[in-house]
Amino acid sequence: MAQICPPGSILVADWHRSKDSKEYFNKILHKKRRRKFGLLESPMMPPHLAVDTVHYKIFICGKSGVGKTSLAARLAGMNVPNMHYETKGIETTMVYWPVKLREGGKVLFFCLQLWDCGENALRRFDHFLPSCQEQVDAVLLLFSFTDKTSFDDLSNQITRWTGTSLVKVVVGTKFDLFMHCDVTETDVRTFEETRSLPVLHMGGEDIDGLGDVAPLLNCLAENLWHQDCVAAASGTRRSQQETEALI
Amino acid sequence: MAQDGTPQLICLTASSGVPLFTRGANRQLPFSVIGSLNGVHMFGGSQGVVVSSSSTEGGGKVVWRVFQDSVMLIAVCRGGHGGAGSSSRAEQVFLQRLLENVWNCMVLVLGQDELGNVRNVERLKKDLRSCFSLIDQLLEDGQEGVFGNLTHCADSLLPPDPGLLQEAVDGFAKSADSEFGCLIVRGRIAAATEKWWRLAPQEVVLLSALVRSLAGSGTSSCDYPVFLPRGSPNVAHRLLRFQLLPGADVCILCGPTPSLHRAETRLVVPFWAPLMETLRACLAVGQHCLPASVSPRPDVMAVLLINRETRRCVTCVQPNLQTSDPPLPSRQRCWELLKLFYSFSVTRYFPQEDTLCVVPEDKDPRSNAEDFVLSFSHNPLQCYLVTEECKSFGLQTPQHQLFLLTPLSVPTFALQTLASQTLSDIVSATGF
């Protein structure tokens, strides 16, 4: 299993704040809001700045009502539904996110496709889970700070995914509702240490549109890229061994 | 012809009168009023009478209907200003149809079984929330120029290049092992497979509404269980929807295969990427619904054209109306007037097989409008109406119905020629 990498070890941290990122981030913005892309589109850069786009599939899971749909909308810069209702099927959302690699300074567009499926729908129709798991690259495991049972349920969720070389990131939602907070800092820290999984927070007002989602998207991108590098390295090693064996 | 604001909708369990939800209208009715409305219906029931509609002196309307002996829907419309031409019959038809549409929405999302046998009221209340965005669309007429909920004909858009899109939809659906495929541009059907058109007209309209509401949330694809109210109310089909470009969605109805992931990665790009420009041209047609080559005469403010055989309709309002004195109605008002004139015409002059699905007990013996229609020994072919705001003309042939609005400056005697010319222009240019 790939190890977690500390934030900023592979990607330039907080790149969205630096000046040289402007022209890349402008491609995902439109009138100060996030631009919407259809499946046939992607951010286009002028030829002299051509940028590779890498695609990943990410499954969002967590107890019903924990905020999966809201998180997906938040990450994509879309309006968050103002009333909770069950997602009746699978809904996917595309998020484009430019990053800069620390080594060599190469810029990449990450295309993260977030897969969101209501827990009851998963239980009611058997075809949804396999569809979400098909060629998935990462899972976002959600719990709500206002609901201790959703936090306790995390270990169950994680065991569902053991043995697979997936990026796993834990996200605590509704962090802003501290009045109703049910999960303590200590709980989270102990969990982080025992599981060695990154835990991120979401919730609160949208400050500058990108600032609140950047830590999560960068963390995901960094771990996905790291996983790919590890896989590529082992893959090349394997192919080398094979060639040696042939010789 | 004045619109009476957004109606309010109340949903209760039929047996116990437990409120399930209320939608619409800014000011909610107090609980005691809801209780009384339910009580009146229940009292009627105990006396062997079905209360189906009622109107107040101020012009308010209440319509009741029980579905599957389990769910009661009540629509309440506040009394309006009841200007010239407002017909209580037309409003009742509108409300009856609204209740039917709302019920169909609920079936579409939850299935008939779940609604028919309510085991856990709290659970049902929670589940019903998933229908709210669809129901709100019905109540608020979410999108300008969408008439399907009223006409039960599919809102269509006539693309500049229909052949290419038709081929792509057919091919795309076939490669996904489905016979039901449809391309929806700006909320209207631009192309669909033959089987899609064979679904019940209400289902076609509902599915378009569902795609509009799913696309509105900004997601790029989905795999959604749907229960077809007519064709399959108890067994869910899968609706796969892919947003090709913002505003252009392709969807298919299918069984267990292919998976969403597979369809998206293997089929979407090969079939649709070559048609990017065609799709963009289609999006450019936009609200106009008609290709640029077909443009109604400048003195036509708004048109609604229905193909009675294929159960499709196109609508358009002239984008740039000239300024005149008295000022012409705004775009939004044109859409409203067109809707009112349609309801007015079909309730008085053009009663249709399926347009007025009036349940026998709904017939009000005192209704003058009803007598008026029934007293005809013949079938009216044309009708017109002159109000303070505009002139309206309706025309029907065995295949089409056309409704148009003109400014007051157009002489009344010219309306008929104008209407028949508009009809033949559109039909000959697009084959609609």
pLDDT-derived band at B221, boundaries 50, 70, 90:
very high
Burial track B226-247 (b if 16+ CB lie within 10 A, e otherwise): bbbbeeebeebbbbbbbbbbeb
Of A7-11, A220-224, B174-178, B420-424, least confident by mean pLDDT is A7-11
Chain A residue numbers with beta carbons less than 8 Å from the beta carbon of B276 are 40
Specify the number of domains making up chain A.
1
- Of the candidates A39, A121, A131, which has its C-beta nearest B220's C-beta? A39
The whole-angstrom distance between B233's CA and the closest CA on chain A is 16
The pLDDT value recorded for residue B16 is 87
User: Structure tokens of B354?
Assistant: 């399926």
Q: Which of B222, B245, B279 sits opposite A90 (nearest CB)?
A: B222
Contact B217 A125 (CB under 8 A): no
CB contact under 8 A, B222 and A89: yes
CB contacts, 8 Å: A81 with chain B: 217
CA distances from B248 to A38, B126, B187 (A): 8, 31, 8
Which residues of chain A have a CB within 8 Å of the CB of B224?
88-91
Q: Who among B129, B223, B269 is closest to A131 (CB)?
A: B223
- Domain CATH code at residue A24: 3.40.50.300
- For an interface test with A, the pick among B250, B259, B266 (most A C-beta atoms closer than 10 Å) comes out as B259
The chain-wide mean pLDDT, for chain B, equals 86
User: Does the structure show a pLDDT above 70 at A65?
Assistant: yes
What pLDDT does residue B295 have?
77
What ipTM was estimated for this complex?
0.89
Q: What is the pLDDT of residue B66?
A: 93
Residue spans of the domains in chain B: they are 8-139, 157-285, 302-350+379-430
Which residues have a Cβ under 8 Å from the Cβ of B117 and sit 6 or more positions away?
B70
Helix (H) or strand (E) holding A92: strand A90-100
What radius of gyration, in Å, describes the C-alpha atoms of chain B? 22
Predicted local distance difference test score (pLDDT) of residue B369: 55
**CB contact residues (below 8 A), chain B span 195-234, against chain A:** 214, 217-225
Cβ burial, residue B44 (10 Å; 0-12/13-18/19+): middle
CB–CB contact B260 A92 (8 Å): yes
pLDDT at A158: 85
Interval B92-139: pLDDT, tens: 777 888 899 999 999 999 999 999 888 889 999 999 999 998 998 888
pLDDT, tens digit, for every residue of B317-352? 887 666 666 778 888 888 889 988 998 888 888 876
Q: CB neighbours (10 Å) of residue A55?
A: 13
pLDDT band of residue A4 (cuts 50, 70, 90) is low
pLDDT band of B179, cuts 50, 70, 90: very high
Q: Which of A56, A92, A124 to mutate to test the interface with B (most CBs of B within 10 A)?
A: A92
- Shortest Cα distance from B279 to chain A (angstroms)? 11
The C-alpha atoms of residue B12 and residue B34 are separated, in whole angstroms, by 9
Q: Which of B217, B246, B261 sits opposite A131 (nearest CB)?
A: B261
Is there a contact between B223 and A41 if contact means CB atoms under 8 Å apart?
no
Q: Which domain holds residue A84?
A: 15-36+44-232
The mean pLDDT of B244-251, rounded to a whole number, is 95
Residues 6+ apart with CB under 8 A from A92: A113, A114, A115, A116, B219, B220, B221, B222, B260, B264
A-chain CB neighbours of B129 within 8 Å are 83-86
Over residues A57-84, mean pLDDT = 89
Q: Average pLDDT, whole number, for chain A? A: 84
Q: How confident is the model at residue B140 (pLDDT cuts 50, 70, 90)?
A: confident
What per-residue confidence (pLDDT) applies to A18?
87
The pTM assigned to this predicted structure is 0.89
- Judged by average pLDDT, the poorest of A162-166, B2-6, B16-20 is B2-6
Q: What is the mean pLDDT of residues B133-162?
A: 85
**pLDDT for the residue A175:** 81
Q: What residues in A contact B217, CB-CB < 8 Å? A: 73, 78, 81, 91
Q: Please indicate whether the domains covering B8-139 and B302-350+379-430 agree at the CATH topology level.
A: yes
Q: Which residues have CB under 8 Å from A117's CB, separation 6+?
A: A68, A87, A89, A90, A91, A128, A129, A132
**pLDDT (tens digit per residue) in A197-217:** 888 888 766 655 788 888 899
Segment A98-147, tens digit of pLDDT = 999 988 888 999 999 999 999 889 998 999 999 999 999 999 999 998 88
Residue A1 — very low, low, confident or very high, per pLDDT cuts 50/70/90?
very low
Q: Considering only the beta carbons, identify the residue of B132, B220, B244 that sits closest to A85.
A: B132
Residues of B with CB below 8 A from A37's CB? Answer: 220, 246
Alpha-carbon separation of residue B12 from A38, B22, B71 (angstroms) = 40, 9, 6
CATH code assigned to B8-139: 3.30.450
Average pLDDT over residues B424-429: 89
pLDDT, residue B4, reads 47
Q: CB distance A93–B220 less than 8 Å?
A: yes
Close Cβ partners of B355 (under 8 Å, ≥ 6 residues apart)? B151, B152, B346
User: Spelled out in words, what is the top-level CATH class assigned to the domain B157-285?
Assistant: alpha beta
Checking DSSP bridges between strand B188-192 and strand A52-62, what pairing results, if any? unpaired
Q: Report the percentage of chain B scoring pLDDT > 70.
A: 88
Pick the CATH number of B302-350+379-430 from 3.30.70, 1.10.3470, 2.60.40, 3.30.450: 3.30.450
Q: Which DSSP helix (H) or strand (E) runs through A160?
A: helix A154-160
Q: Which residue of A has its CA nearest to B259?
A: A131
Confirm whether A237 is domain-assigned: no
Residue B292 region by backbone torsions, left for phi larger than 0, else alpha for psi between -120 and 50, else beta: alpha
